[in-house]
Structure 1
Amino acid sequence: MTASGQEQAPAAAVEAAVFDYGGVLTRPVKESIAAWIEADGIDPHSFSRTLRAWMSRGAPAGTPVHRLETGELTVEEFDALLAAELTTIDGRPVDRVGVLSRLFAGMRPDPEMFELVEELSELGVRVALLSNSWGNTYPRERIDGLFDPVVISGEVGLRKPEAPIYELTLTRLGVPAGSALFLDDAEPNVLGARAVGMRAHLHVDAPSTRAALAALVPGLRPTRNGAPV
């Protein structure tokens, strides 16, 4: 009921769900980063300082992260730039070879989220992938067989949260913005989707995302295997 005592209309069902990859379809990226920082002896303050400079909302356009995500920098070039900004706890130089490979080595798929995607597809909801790539090795056979379209920033030369990459995804889906729900674990990307008219959900974990989708997709279970959310 609304404050006026009238019943609130149910939210319209979605035709398509657009998923981010890292941190949404995988376990939290921060877990892999923490393991890398410990294994390589990285001073965590040097890493967080660099991320703020290259990724914060106030960061200038064209930072190394931006250029990596759009494919303007190779992984090897980015590795060298990142290593130059980092320090280690014991003062050793950071090995510039394979920095990103080590950073993402602990990232694992989240089975609950892949199960959710499969259920949505079975219920007739279009499912798409929209990811900013850091040179990640995606499980292409798995995602190409499940998602249509698959939009990877480095492959299309665009990046979230800028409008063109959302618009490209919607064009490939063939659905209006208001009929698509975007799911991401980064708030700026969620806001970017809303700015082009998409509905969007900030992903925290699989149970809460399932519950949010269940309110919009007829037939989707709000729980997994009978377990409470």
Structure 2
Amino acid sequence: MSDTQQTFKAVIFDFGGVLTNPMDDTAIAFAAEIGLPTYAYRDTVAFDPAGRALYAQLERGDISQTQWNEGIASILGIDSDNLMGRALATLVPEKLVVNAALAIREAGLKTAILSNSMGLEPFNPYTPWDLEANHDVIVFSEHHRIRKPEPAIYQLTLDKLQLPGSACIFVDDNPSNLIPAQELGMATVHATTAEETVSGLQKLLGIPLG
């Protein structure tokens, strides 16, 4: 590490689109599977006001995943049974970033997950990642009734890590979610491609990650 590099003690990762393949890819694959126009599902959950409101309620824990399934299905005119599970059927670990997170921990730093929740039941999208075994702190928005980009959920994560923002790096694929982290003193990495995410972390940490 160079003399000018800051010593970080933890890296906080978003989940979807960071530790996973792009969420847009899963949305497009799901639409194709059920015969919807290419961007119909993505646009419903990401841009349609009613769909966005349902997702925000799910993330806060104000509604269950089953209720979200029913609400989104009603908008799209499709079957609601296990909708979240079906929509995320092609969600897989982004191995470069997952392996980088393991290398960061092996180097003696803490790692944390800060995720706006997609619900945990009846379908748990986080199971294949074994997050509890591989990270020091897990924060799902539904457990705390707050969500990104609300500053309180970032501070909660720092409190659980027992670290100040200046000792942490935050990684997210949504640029608007980086702003509160920066305001709390964290360095940030905008997750675009897996390669660029790992490269950004390597530059900040000064250690090889792959």
TM-score by length of 1: 0.81
**In 2, are the aligned partners of 1:50 and 1:85 still within 8 Å (CA)?**
no
Residue in structure 1 matching 2:161, options 173, 187, 191: 173
- CA distance, structure 2, for counterparts of residue 132 and residue 141 of structure 1: 16
Please name the residue that 2:16 is paired with: 22
1:125: how far off?
Answer: 1.3
The verdict on how the C-alpha distance between 1:199 and 1:54 changes in structure 2, with shifts beyond 3 A counting, is: farther
Identity of aligned residues (%): 27
Kindly indicate whether the alpha-carbon contact (under 8 Å) linking 2:88 and 2:125 is maintained by their aligned counterparts in 1.
Answer: no
- 2:183 equivalent among 179, 191, 195: 195
Q: 1:33 aligns with which of 16, 22, 27?
A: 27
Instruction: Evaluate the alpha carbon distance shift between residue 21 and residue 141 of structure 1 in structure 2; reply closer, same or farther with a 3 A threshold.
Output: closer
Larger Rg: 1
Q: Does 1:64 align with 2:54?
A: yes
**TM-score, length of structure 2 as denominator length:** 0.88
Q: Kindly report structure 1 stretches of 4+ aligned residues shifted beyond 4 Å.
A: none
Residue pair 2:26, 2:87 contacting (<8 A) in 1 also: yes
User: Larger % of helix: which?
Assistant: 2
Q: Distance in 2 between matches of 1:162 and 1:55?
A: 20
Unaligned runs of 5+ residues in structure 1 are: 1-8, 87-92, 225-229
Secondary structure of the residue aligned to 1:215 is helix
Post-superposition shift, 1:65? Answer: 1.2
Aligned residue-pair number: 203
List aligned pairs for 1:1-229, cutoff 5 A: 10-44=4-38, 46-47=40-41, 48-49=43-44, 51-54=46-49, 63-86=53-76, 93-135=77-119, 136-139=124-127, 142-218=130-206, 220-221=207-208, 224=210
Give the residue type in structure 2 aligned to 1:53. Answer: D
CA–CA distance in structure 2, aligned partners of residues 149 and 54 of structure 1: 32
Kindly indicate whether the alpha-carbon contact (under 8 Å) linking 2:27 and 2:39 is maintained by their aligned counterparts in 1: no
Bigger drift between 70-79 and 186-195 goes to 186-195
Which structure is richer in relative contact order (CA contacts within 8 A, separation 6 or more)? 2
* Whole-angstrom distance in 2 between the partners of 1:46 and 1:29: 14
